[in-house]
Amino acid sequence: MDARPFEGLARPGYDIVVLWDYRSLDVDWSFTAPYEEICVVGWSFGVYAAAATTQSLEPRVTLRMAIGGTLYPCHNSLGIPDRIFRGTLATLSERNLYKFRRRMCGDSATFERFNARAPQRDVAELADELESFLPENLLMHDPCRRCDVAVIGRDDAIVPPVNQWRAWQGTPLLMYSGPHYPDFQSLLDRYVMDKERVGERFGRGFDSYEDAGVVQARIVAELCRLLAGLSIPLSAPGIRILEVGSGTGMMSRHLHRVAPEGYLEMWDLAGDAPVEGPRRLFRRLDAETAIARVPAESFDLIVSASTVQWFNSPLQFVRRCMRALHPGGVLVLSTFVAGNLAEVNAVTGRSLPLLTPNAWLGALGDDYEVLYSRDYCDDLVFDSAADVFRHLRATGVTGLGRSADGEVPLRSVLNRFHPALDGRWHITYRPYILILRKK
């Protein structure tokens, strides 16, 4: 590839850079200096190239996404089988490159779109690049093995899907019905959070959040109950607490009461200080990037209610929270898991890339002790489809995501959102509560 096939990609709040030509994996990353957050998206051989070159960026990397590739470019069971790889290299020509691209695109319409922006590179140059991915030429590299989501096309005719599946065991997977060459824009829209938009929505919903956020209020009440059962000296003068996503202050007010002599720091993307007083500090910031700058072992307790589902990588955020805790410190977290608001997602065609509870637990390391893990359903019932979306808007979650194609029109959604057999409209929240102790 070169940059041509990716022209036109966009995501609000982000600049997009395309790196190509893997004959050399020496990259000068100085151009990234102004950016506090980086999302790394690797496609095909770019999965390996990104993993091998971005270790120095890791403190600023939130999301790592692998699309149609693995950390083993030439491998009989985890990548492109050796015989096919070497055969492609031996017979590479303009004619075979054309055939390769047809297989890569899967169908004629996709191939025509790709060909309109086809890379302009010499075949001899491509042969040199392909040769650089032979196993014997990769020994000098030690790739980063962290991946937040691996995207696999069921019809991938380049990298066998079963090999990709084997290579990414233990990693959250997205399987789609399509070829090696995916719809990159839809993947960016789904997995790279428009944080400016999230802040705008929650800012508009501040005045109505506590009245409309009945599910969120019940979650906070449950977190408070669980906190009381933990052996954490909340009343101790020296305790240091961080709340991520303080919002309107449902949890902040509780922490303020139970830790009157402790230090309480509150972070949120929008809004103002929910509580004030001695040893109380509010910061308006992006918590997902800010947590990487917190010195190790800074807090005894970190609490976050219904926030991390808006992050690019909730799992990476949890890892960084654990680093920020003292040994024996506790993380109390609530989020939502796959299946959340399924009724709304079915009519809008858009949803957050939520993990399953098993994916959460499977991705955690051995440095944590799981004190509590529970997911459950909380159903709300409304008299009309319009009432559903008024509720979502009042809590800052409209359910109508913004992508490169713009907003989903509300009227078209309402026309497709039908009542249940009881004549009313139901939506189902899927909260997940996780409590971890740092060993």
> What pairing do the DSSP bridges indicate for beta strands 240-244 and 299-305?
parallel
Phi-psi region of 245 (alpha: psi -120 to 50; beta: other; left: phi over 0): left
Predicted TM-score of the model (pTM): 0.91
* Backbone φ and ψ of 41, nearest 5°: -120, 115
* Backbone φ and ψ of 328, nearest 5°: 90, -10
CA distance linking residue 437 with residue 439, whole number of Å: 6
Average pLDDT per run of 10 along the chain, which is 439 residues long?
Answer: 96 95 94 97 97 95 98 97 97 96 96 96 96 89 91 98 97 95 96 89 75 91 97 94 96 97 96 94 97 97 96 96 97 97 89 92 86 96 92 73 54 86 96 97
Neighbours of 295 (CB within 10 A): 8
CA distance linking residue 95 with residue 79, whole number of Å: 24
Structure tokens at 68: 């149609």
Q: Which DSSP string corresponds to 392-437?
A: HHHTT--S--EETTEEPPHHHHHHH----TTSSEEEEE-EEEEEEE
Q: Which residues, other chains included, contact 109 with Cβ-Cβ below 8 Å and sequence gap of 6+?
A: none
CA distance linking residue 76 with residue 78, whole number of Å: 6
Structure tokens at 188: 């960016």
Burial 176-186 (b: 16+ CB within 10 A, else e): bebbbbbebbe
Q: Which of 382, 364, 393 is nearest to 424 (CA)?
A: 382
pLDDT value for 400: 46
Q: Which DSSP string corresponds to 133-156?
A: TSGGG-TT-------SEEEEETT-
Q: Which DSSP string corresponds to 256-304?
A: HHH-TTSEEEEEESSS--SS-STTEEEEES-HHHHGGGSPTT-EEEEEE
Q: Which residues, other chains included, contact 120 with Cβ-Cβ below 8 Å and sequence gap of 6+?
A: 2, 4
Residue ranges of domains in the chain, CATH in brackets: 4-191 (3.40.50.1820), 199-438 (3.40.50.150)
User: Going edge to edge, which strands form the sheet with 263-268?
Assistant: 280-284, 263-268, 240-244, 299-305, 325-336, 431-438, 368-375
DSSP 8-state class, residue 174: E
pLDDT value for 408: 56
**Sign of the alpha-carbon dihedral angle for 91, 93, 99, 103:** positive
Contact 238, 262 (CB under 8 A): yes
CA distance linking residue 353 with residue 173, whole number of Å: 10
CA distance linking residue 415 with residue 137, whole number of Å: 57
Cα 61 to the center of its chain, rounded Å: 11
Neighbours of 92 (CB within 10 A): 17
Q: Which of 229, 256, 412 is nearest to 330 (CA)?
A: 229
pLDDT value for 362: 84
Q: Which of 438, 278, 294 is nearest to 369 (CA)?
A: 438
